[in-house]
Amino acid sequence: MTETILANAMLVLPTEVIHGAIRVEGGTITALDQGAGVPAGAVDCMGDLLMPGLIELHTDNLERHIEPRPKVNWPHASAIIAHDAELASVGITTVFDALRVGSITSSKKMNYGEYARLLADEILGLREKGALKISHFLHLRAEVCSETLIAELAKFGPDDRIGIVSLMDHTPGQRQFRDLTQLRAYVCGKHGLSEAEFESHVAEQVAISARLGDAHEAAAVAEAQRFGAVLASHDDTTAEQVAVSACHGAHFAEFPTTVEAAQACHAQGIKVMMGAPNLIRGGSHSGNVAASKLAEADLLDIVSSDYVPSALLSAALLLGDLWGDVARGVACVTQAPAQAAGLADRGTLALGARGDMIRVARVAGAAVLRGTWVQGQRVA
């Protein structure tokens, strides 16, 4: 049985930080000891923080590897392996790879096609072959405002490691893009649309939503149950939208855009997740509520790296400083996401938990990762 001992570390436990050592045997934590001693054969962490491996529920990072530049399609196996290695290198030991389901095929200017089933097969295939360093699950982003959602969801099943289904409604004029000025800047900047083309795009999207939105939302909720996946809402803006999410059975809310929505989530027992880039930059890039404002109001439960993997660790320590509680900040990227996704075997340094751990030093206020272990095996 493989044994790993990490000693002379500041162990970040669920509610406190203690000086001690941790032993992992056969991939599972078998001992937690207090004190500064370094047993024979142990790794001396020299007083660094030792915390659970980070758990990422929503990341667009794989897309960046698959399409490193617009219209440049990178070989998928190489992209997935590079994505996996990058996450390990920043302390993420469990990831829910976000894949969009639901496409637009009828638009003259803004078509985008199906890709999720093929990419899921490639991720799962590499996992089965032992090519990936960390633990991968799937997160299906169900695009309600699309034309093919139901058909694409039907291609997945309970054996596909789908942990999360999120309800993504990007209909212009609501949620993240209720301000059409923000949508115009994003779409025209990314796709080079003229004003007339933008107006046509908005009209097409609104028409699709009116025709198919309700059926797509109901189908996504039903399919999440079939998969055995957790349901998440996305970009809730009003208390009314949160009430609908609660009726659907949402476990957590991705990036609520207002204080009103975050307050309503907590009132409904829905955990609030915000983006680490928002927290670190001091605000939302699209004009929505600042994550720091929710943190200061005790309305922030989970943090996602979103589009910057390295931001997850930095955000945890930033929150620890903000709250004066390192354990609480770290829990937002470990214990809380594990609980939200229904993973009972990880997210804490506790007896019987998976030996997923990271060693972290702080230098000039910045987080320096000095090691990542998955089930007791060092992977970065």
Q: Is 41 exposed, middle or buried (0-12, 13-18, 19+ CB in 10 A)?
A: exposed
DSSP 245: H
pLDDT by residue, tens only, the chain of 380 residues: 689 999 999 999 999 999 999 999 999 999 999 999 999 999 999 999 999 999 999 999 999 999 999 889 999 999 999 999 999 999 999 999 999 999 988 776 666 789 999 999 999 999 999 999 999 999 999 999 899 999 999 999 999 999 999 999 876 657 666 666 666 666 665 666 677 766 676 777 777 888 888 999 999 999 999 999 999 999 999 999 999 999 999 999 999 999 999 999 999 999 999 999 999 999 887 778 999 999 999 999 999 999 999 999 999 999 999 999 999 999 999 999 999 999 999 999 999 999 999 999 999 888 999 999 999 999 99
Residue with tokens 């055995």: 228
Q: Is 186 helix (H, G, I), strand (E, B) or coil?
A: helix
Domains annotated on the chain, with CATH: 1-53+347-380 (2.30.40.10), 54-345 (3.20.20.140)
Q: Which H/E stretch holds residue 168?
A: strand 162-168
Q: How far apart are CA 212 and CA 52, in angstroms?
A: 42
Q: How far apart are CA 146 and CA 296, in angstroms?
A: 36
